[in-house]
Structure 1
């Protein structure tokens, strides 16, 4: 599982030491770093990338499959970049001039509400982009529930936000969640289809009446199970509010820790839902991109 970064100011009294390597042939960054740093394993290198300690020709790179070209210089800082230390509850998985992909912890809101003003993914990222440019802004493309962890996408301009939201169904090729549910399903895989509507007390309900709600389709398959719990891979065909939680309640196997939608157990002290994989075609470059996070350790301990 990814670790949080602690707050606090980084010391500027001493410049971090740097190792440098020259690229001799075209190669993915991860393969290059594994060859250049034989004393470090893949997980060590992922941590260096996440903490913005790897630079290519002076620019910080966090994506492990970044393609290197001959003649480029790869630099490795022995200390994390100061901004990386200040990120609390999220880690940046990918960043380019158009968008940012982050992995958020459970318990963190996407953005503030009238009732809740504490730190949010939006406020943390807003502060982050303003470090380089005080006029910079970020824009929410989609949201995760507070208690859901995992991958989220933000745009760096209003135009990019609109482009992503308008082309979402065609741009996104995979959105896979991991859900830990109560019990074992009679059918280990299947599809749930219903119409969802929200009540006046902000609870989402499921119906087969198309006049009452918006159509929602959820595909699921069982990855692990025992007598008490099952770990499901869940793919969304539509992205409605609380869709996975409501549909798994429909199956009489609610997500653990989800008291709102019928769960009676909370063995890990949080909602058992994680946005695991996000794959899409970059709306500007056309490049196919795929991001996958680690499976939360608390999920695996149940099996």
Structure 2
């Protein structure tokens, strides 16, 4: 049996999403079955998969310990430096100047050093992030830019800030502006270009076409020559 108290960074999540993040050893089929059989309760009562959790809720899981067992905590983000170029910071967010050459998230080649790892290391070293005290949340980046691109990246320190900023990005309230160097001479000093972007999953490469392609997304770039 295990008892979990929902914290502020877990509030607002669906029950099934929270359980999946918090207990990776618990198969989804077992989770759904346990909810139906009332082996997982919320505040001592039967609960539904789609319920939204609130801060202070107590979840009781009448399950075998094997589903809760985890390896000793080893925080990979501590292997990354905590050096950041911070342009703005408050209790909820960071605005960072990412330099070209740094990944925003780790990949198969660079396992440890990335912008998000540096953010988590920075907050951990200042006592603002304690992963052992979180059930499912970790500080996260709100937007991403390519490895070889430099520019501003927003990071959320808590779940509420992440939800608010994600909503603003989806509502297109956050605008992106790029400075770039091009080869050749542009015919127009100011124009809007339209093309079609599609990704070859097997090659892990993206391609741009002047004509519509199956599965491609329409892209538009508005530019102005400085």
Aligned equivalents of 2:123 and 2:91: distance in 1? 11
Q: Conserved in 1, the CA contact under 8 Å of 2:82 and 2:121?
A: no
Q: Conserved in 2, the CA contact under 8 Å of 1:103 and 1:151?
A: yes
**Counterpart selection for 2:98 from 97, 101, 104:** 104
Does 2:89 match 1:95?
yes
Question: Per-residue displacement from partner, 1:114-141 (whole Å, max 9, x unpaired)?
Answer: 2222421111111111122241641121
Partner of 1:177: 178
Q: Which runs of 5+ in 1 are unaligned?
A: 1-85, 224-303
Q: Conserved in 2, the CA contact under 8 Å of 1:108 and 1:121?
A: yes
Q: Conserved in 2, the CA contact under 8 Å of 1:164 and 1:171?
A: no
**Counterpart selection for 2:203 from 197, 201, 204:** 201
Per the alignment, in what secondary structure is the counterpart of residue 168 of structure 1? helix
Q: Conserved in 2, the CA contact under 8 Å of 1:195 and 1:212?
A: no
Partner of 1:15: none
Q: Conserved in 2, the CA contact under 8 Å of 1:110 and 1:120?
A: yes
Shift of residue 191, structure 1, vs aligned partner:
0.8
Partner of 1:161: 162
Does 2:117 match 1:123?
yes
Aligned equivalents of 2:167 and 2:216: distance in 1? 21
Aligned equivalents of 1:110 and 1:87: distance in 2? 14
Shift of residue 220, structure 1, vs aligned partner:
0.6
Q: Conserved in 1, the CA contact under 8 Å of 2:141 and 2:154?
A: yes
Which of the pair is proportionally richer in strand?
Answer: 1
Shift of residue 142, structure 1, vs aligned partner:
1.4
Per the alignment, in what secondary structure is the counterpart of residue 165 of structure 1? helix
Question: Per-residue displacement from partner, 1:233-253 (whole Å, max 9, x unpaired)?
Answer: xxxxxxxxxxxxxxxxxxxxx
Per the alignment, in what secondary structure is the counterpart of residue 177 of structure 2? strand
Shift of residue 153, structure 1, vs aligned partner:
0.7
Aligned equivalents of 2:143 and 2:107: distance in 1? 16
Shift of residue 144, structure 1, vs aligned partner:
1.1
| Structure 1 residues 99 and 171: alpha-carbon distance in aligned structure 2, compared to 1, 3 A threshold | farther
Does 2:208 match 1:214?
no
Question: Per-residue displacement from partner, 1:52-106 (whole Å, max 9, x unpaired)?
Answer: xxxxxxxxxxxxxxxxxxxxxxxxxxxxxxxxxx754x30011112211000111
Aligned equivalents of 1:87 and 1:118: distance in 2? 12
Paired residues, what number?
137
TM-score when normalising by structure 1: 0.41
Per the alignment, in what secondary structure is the counterpart of residue 194 of structure 2? strand
Per the alignment, in what secondary structure is the counterpart of residue 108 of structure 1? coil
Task: Give the superposed CA RMSD.
Answer: 2.1
**Counterpart selection for 1:113 from 107, 120, 124:** 107
Q: Conserved in 2, the CA contact under 8 Å of 1:91 and 1:102?
A: yes
Partner of 1:141: 142
Does 2:193 match 1:192?
yes
| Structure 1 residues 168 and 210: alpha-carbon distance in aligned structure 2, compared to 1, 3 A threshold | farther
Q: Conserved in 2, the CA contact under 8 Å of 1:122 and 1:140?
A: yes
